[in-house]
Structure 1
Amino acid sequence: MEFNHGANVFSTEGKEIGRIDRVVIDPKTKAVTHLILRKGLILTQDKVVPVDLLVEGVNDQIIMRLDPNKLDELPDYQETHYVLANEEEIGHVNANKPLIMGTTPALYQYPPYAQTLAPPNTEPAYLVEKETNIPEGTVALKEGARVISRDEKKVGQIEQVLYDPTAHRATHFMIAKGMLLREKKMVPVEWIDEISEDEVLLSVGARMIEEIKERQPA
Structure 2
Amino acid sequence: MPENALDLALNAPVAATDGPLGRVAHVIINPESGTATHLVVREDALPNTLRLVPKKYCGQAGPGAVTLTISRKRAGELKEYIQADYYPPSFFLGLAKAEETRLPIAPSGWTFEHPATPEGSVALAGHEPVLATDGRAGRVDGVLADPHTGRVTHLLLRQGHLWGAREVQVPAGLVSRYEDGQVVLSVDKAALGALPDVHAG
TM-score range, shorter chain: 0.7 to 0.9
C-alpha deviation, 1:125, in angstroms: 6.0
Normalising by the residue count of structure 2, what TM-score does the alignment of the two structures yield? 0.80
Looking at structure 2, the residues matched to 21 and 169 of structure 1 have their Cα atoms a distance apart, in angstroms, of 19
Amino acid at match of 2:39: L
C-alpha deviation, 1:154, in angstroms: 0.6
C-alpha deviation, 1:49, in angstroms: 0.6
Decide whether aligned partners of structure 1 residues 43 and 32 sit closer, same or farther in structure 2, where only a CA change above 3 A counts. Answer: same
Amino acid at match of 2:53: V
Superposed, 1:1-218 pairs within 5 Å as: 1-13=6-18, 15-40=19-44, 43-83=47-87, 84=91, 86=95, 122-124=105-107, 128-151=111-134, 153-180=135-162, 181-217=164-200
RMSD: 2.4
SS in 2 for 1:33: strand
Unaligned runs of 5+ in 2: 1-5, 97-102
- Percent of aligned pairs with the same residue? 23
Looking at structure 1, the residues matched to 40 and 114 of structure 2 have their Cα atoms a distance apart, in angstroms, of 15
C-alpha deviation, 1:124, in angstroms: 2.1
Residues 160-179 of structure 1, C-alpha deviations (whole Å, 9 max, x = no match): 21111123111111111212
Q: Tell me the residue number matched to 1:108.
A: none
C-alpha deviation, 1:121, in angstroms: 6.6
Normalising by the residue count of structure 1, what TM-score does the alignment of the two structures yield? 0.74
Looking at structure 2, the residues matched to 63 and 163 of structure 1 have their Cα atoms a distance apart, in angstroms, of 14
Decide whether aligned partners of structure 1 residues 59 and 206 sit closer, same or farther in structure 2, where only a CA change above 3 A counts. Answer: closer
Please tell me whether the aligned partners of residues 9 and 63 of structure 2 are also in contact (alpha carbons under 8 angstroms): no
Please tell me whether the aligned partners of residues 23 and 44 of structure 2 are also in contact (alpha carbons under 8 angstroms): no
Residues 24-52 of structure 1, C-alpha deviations (whole Å, 9 max, x = no match): 11112211111101103663110001111
Unaligned runs of 5+ in 1: 88-119
